[in-house]
Chain A
Amino acid sequence: MGTSINDHVDRRTFLKYGGAASISAIFAGCTDNQSTDETTNESGTDSPDSTESDGGSTSNGDDEATEFNYVTTVTPSSIDPMKGSDNLETLLLHNVYDPLLYYTDGTPPELQSWLATNYSVSDDGQTYTFELRSDATFHNGDQVTASDVKYSVQRMMDMQNGFSWMWEGVLSPENVEVVDEKTVRMTTNDVYAPFLYTLPFLYIVNQDQVEANANSDGQFGEHGDYGTEWLEANDAGSGPYQLASRERKREIVLEKNDDWWREFPHGQDGYEVVSAEMVQESATAAGRMREGAEMADQWLPLQTYNDLANEDGVRVHAKATFNPFYVYMHTQREPLDDVHVRRAISYAFDYDAALTDVMSGDSDHLQGPLPGAMWSHTDDLETYGQDLEQAQAELEQSEYTASDIDLEYTYVSGLTVEQNMGLLLQSNIQELGGSLSVNKAPWSNITEMTTSKESTPDMLAVYLSFSYADPDTFLYPAWHSNSHGSWTSASWYQNDEVDDLLTEARRTVSQEDRVPIYEQAQRIIAEDAPALFVMNQATRNALSTDVQGFKDNGITGYRQTFHRYYQG
């Protein structure tokens, strides 16, 4: 990968909030508005607070509502802020709802103030006190208050859906205290260092409005249905856009919220109306782009982006951020229980073909488990490239012979890239003298298979989805033995030292102190080779050349935060 990621690593600044008593942190600037997008590997530069200066530059004078057409091939099943958990479902959430904290546009992204103007942390690193903005109102005009925050936590944890897993065992609703109308205090069950990084996924809903519209007959006891039905057709947020209409499976229309507590960074040039159209077929999505739609999602086939990149008026944005693709190896089953076999396979895989021919050359080869842009990523790790001699040498050191390597590779049905990687691995393992069968399985089966050691496949292809911007988001779910039984942990990796390190890192408040811990953990994991660290896949979006301000910081759903975009 080019230099840009390293740039980010060098320039990264850490949030410091440990040590001295109650340090109040004011966050880095507002959204960034550099428009130096390139087709590939753009640099997501952070330009602290230049927003208003450059924002409403030349007002174009005409009053016609500007519309942003977003085309997607995936249909969100829910638009409830406590149910959404993937890139598309959060599409709406990031635009219609506001969290306490927000991520910046940089890579890696940092935190910035949002509904909370500032916060403080207690000495023991467990209690967080947030001051809310005084001018923030919900779409119906109600003030955003501390009790709305408490209610949102309660609703999130009671519903046990969406992103609630982030706070499971970390934050209980009863430990959220309304200090006064604009002050809220949260106490975590234990020191949990990534806590602040999870808060951009806690969307604040309007308590009064939700309660008024809740159906008393529901599965949540006194809360009835918690307003779940109502929230599928209405919104109770305070964000830059409000829900205008939703036609399931067809279209979601958002309208600009003129009373938003924050300015649109580009004022009049921002988009008044956003329509997200669900088309289901990649060919149709591509057609819409040719007809002048503003943006298409990131799930089209590679070939479609390549075709689109040649169209006038369309550009394709590709950037490798936080999308690591692993092939887990079952470390508790023969012959993969032998580290030398795992290393032999790691050396046998043809990474070049994977990156250049299967992909289009703009994805990165992973060095160890973390994507390069994540803080604490260590550059000098054991990295496996294809080296058949070394593969044979490793195999000779193992207790097994090539003929013992008779494995099964399982991937998610329908994901062509995963299938192709399997086919490539199949031919590579054959060169080594072993054999591999490639099996597809629906996602729901895979989540079930990985609940037990016996039913977990030998090798499992997985994109480890990204959530909060903390190394913990990748390392703990995959390599800590507490995570066993989940699809994120399909290697059944068991290393006490790594367990201790990952636990320690969670309990260490200062980010500076956490970096060496994570570096140590990465080193051990890379040496143990419990997975093929194949690539950090570039995320693509097709955009109209008229759209300015597009930024990809890698955070789930942030590519679709439309208020940041404007017409050029």
Chain B
Amino acid sequence: MSDTEPTVDDSTDSALARRIDDLNRIVYRFRQNPMSVVGLAIILSFVLIAVFAPWIAPYPSDAGHGGEPAVHFDQKFESPSADHLFGTDQAGRDIFSRVLFGTRLSLKIGVVVLAAAVSIGVPVGLVAGYVGGGVGMTLMRITDVFLSVPPLVLALSVSVALDSSLTNAMLAIAAVWWPWYARLTFGEVLSVKKETYVEASRGIGATSFRTIFRDILPNVLAPITVKMSLDMGYAILVAAALGFLGLGAQPPTPEWGTMVSQGRDYLPGQWWYSTFPGLAIFLIVLGFNFLGDGLRDMFDVEVQ
């Protein structure tokens, strides 16, 4: 970042003034990074698609919308055309409509997985970091164990153990994701703890609960937000990989990973079947990566 960046006067006493300064700095940094703006645009487009899918999609019923899943086996495997931008699948359904509706599912998976991961990981990290000692040590060793296997491999095992369904696939990914947040929170808590003001607030008899919520939590918020936006894309990617391997959404729910996998049976003749759903995964993940990178610069935090 260049030296024209607005600086924060650390001596400012007023919390409000500090917040405004923060905000200015944040918006400035965000706009400095063109990729983050593109990322934001991509994500906003996907959100809009998700919300307005029933109006945008030419054949909403092909994606199971309106409680009337439609099949047109007599129109199977039509190549991309003006009628069917992305062609049709083995049941004659419009792949374009299904890809559009698939956005809903992917965003939902990303949000639910990360919400679940954060709500497990952050408390674990907070407790481990705040309490410290043997308890903290044990908790962090447990998270390390989870981190010693690639997320996809563990998620695969967990989701098989839970039986294949969309909810369980999300649970499975959350189950392998929380350790990252536990670790992140733990690290932040340790560094915050060293700073004097926590010591001070302890001194005047603040309860542990208050200490955590008033002093520590706000400090870990920024890195967690950044990590969440970076992880959102990755969580979607893992979910798509599970779908690709046959775990996840039930038909006729349009799920991108499942669509790519089903299309594989028809390569290379019906190339469009795998190609377009895969493109959607790529774009949404790219969007979140751009955005997350922008947020990282914005909050100026280091996360993995």
A residues lining the B interface (CB < 8 Å): 282-283, 301, 303-304, 307, 353, 357-358, 413-414, 416, 419-420, 422-424, 426-427, 430, 435, 437-442, 445
- By Cβ-Cβ distance, the 3 closest A-B pairs, closest first, are A357-B73, A301-B265, A423-B71
Out of B67, B74, B90, B268, which one reaches A283, CB within 8 Å?
A: B268
B69, A426: Cβ atoms under 8 Å?
yes
- Closest chain B CB from A293 CB (angstroms): 19
Per a CB cutoff under 8 Å, which of A282, A423, A440, A441 touches B265? Answer: A282
Closest Cβ of chain B to A485, distance in Å, is 20
Distance between Cα atoms of A435 and B66 in the complex (Å) = 13
Give Cα A422 to B91, complex, Å. Answer: 11
Could you write out 26 A-B pairs with CB less than 8 Å apart? A282-B265, A301-B265, A303-B77, A303-B266, A303-B270, A357-B76, A357-B92, A413-B164, A414-B246, A416-B262, A420-B71, A420-B73, A420-B91, A422-B251, A423-B71, A423-B251, A423-B252, A426-B69, A426-B71, A426-B252, A427-B71, A430-B68, A435-B67, A438-B252, A439-B250, A442-B164
Task: Find chain A residues with CB under 8 A from B262 CB.
Answer: 416
Say yes or no: is B127 at the interface (Cβ < 8 Å to chain A): no
Q: Does B267 contact A (CB under 8 A)?
A: yes
Residue B70, interface by CB 8 Å? yes
Q: Which residue on chain B has the smallest CB distance to residue A436?
A: B69
Q: Is B163 an interface residue (CB 8 A)?
A: yes
Question: From residue 255 to 276 of chain B, which have CB atoms closer than 8 A to chain A?
Answer: 262, 265-270
Cβ contact within 8 Å between A303 and B252: no
Contacts of A427 on B, CB cut-off 8 Å? 68-71
Known: A438-B252, A440-B250. A423 touches B69 (CB 8 A): yes
Nearest B-chain residue to A419, judged by Cβ: B251
Given the complex of chains A and B, what is the CA–CA distance between A304 and B252 in angstroms? 23
B residues less than 8 Å from A423 (CB atoms): 69, 71, 91, 251-252
**Nearest Cβ on chain B to A459's Cβ, whole angstroms:** 14
- Of the four ranges (under 10, 10 to 19, 20 to 34, 35 or more), the interface on chain B belongs to 20 to 34
How far is the CB of A352 from the nearest CB of chain B, in Å? 10
- CB-CB contacts below 8 Å: B53-80 with A: 67-71, 73-74, 76-77
A361 to B246, CA, bound (A): 28
Q: Are B91 and A301 in contact (CB under 8 A)?
A: no
Chain B residues with Cβ under 8 A from A307's Cβ?
269
* CB pair B265 A416 closer than 8 Å: yes
Taking CB atoms, residues of chain A closer than 8 Å to B73 are 353, 357-358, 420, 424
Residue of chain B at shortest CB distance from A359:
B73
Once bound together, how far apart are the Cα atoms of A423 and B262, in whole Å? 15
Contacting residues of chain B (213-252) with chain A, CB-CB under 8 angstroms = 246, 250-252
Give chain A residues whose Cβ lies under 8 Å from the Cβ of B164.
Answer: 413, 440-442
B265 near A303 with CB under 8 A, answer: yes
In angstroms, how far is the closest chain A Cβ from the Cβ of B60? 15
User: CB-CB < 8 A to A414: which residues of B?
Assistant: 246
Which of B68, B74, B77, B246 is A413 in contact with, Cβ under 8 Å?
B246
On chain A, the residues within 8 Å of B76 by CB distance are 357
In the complex, per-residue mask of B83-119: 1 if CB is within 8 Å of any chain A CB, else 0: 0000000111000000000000000000000000000
B163 is contacted by which of A283, A357, A420, A445 (Cβ under 8 Å)?
Answer: A445
Contact A440 B266 (CB under 8 A): no
How many Å lie between the Cα of A283 and that of B263 in the bound state? 12
Q: In the complex, what distance in Å separates the CA atom of A282 from the CA atom of B76?
A: 19
